[in-house]
Amino acid sequence: MQNTRKRAETLTIRLTKAEKEMIQKKAKKAQLSITDFLVATSLRTEIHVAEDVKPLLIELKRIGNNINQITMKINAGAFHSADFTEVIQGQRMIFEQLLRIAGGR
């Protein structure tokens, strides 16, 4: 960080004791002041907002429901079909990636 910049603004935050201690420990490890550490980490951290993913998750759940209904009919003997294992694995992989993008749920 530039030491020559003028620090005219303040920011007050509330933390738990554990959060404060963790920040202090990380700042010390990085050999930075708490201010420099917080500024550096907050400005370097990219924030991903995944608002547009929700409709995709809803549609993916619908596809999963369709796969389940097809599987139930196959298991009930209503008709015979090819192996859906690859389709189900692909659907699960897409779902997991979308969850990761949407916030790691």
Q: Average pLDDT, whole number, for the chain?
A: 82
pLDDT at 8: 87
User: Is the pLDDT score of 48 beyond 70?
Assistant: no
pLDDT at 25: 96
First to last CA, the chain: 34
pLDDT at 92: 82
Q: What's the residue count for the chain? A: 105
State how far the Cα of 26 lies from the Cα of 29, in Å rounded to an integer. Answer: 5
**Average of per-residue pLDDT across 66-83:** 79
- Interval 9-44: pLDDT, tens: 888 999 999 999 999 999 999 999 999 999 999 888
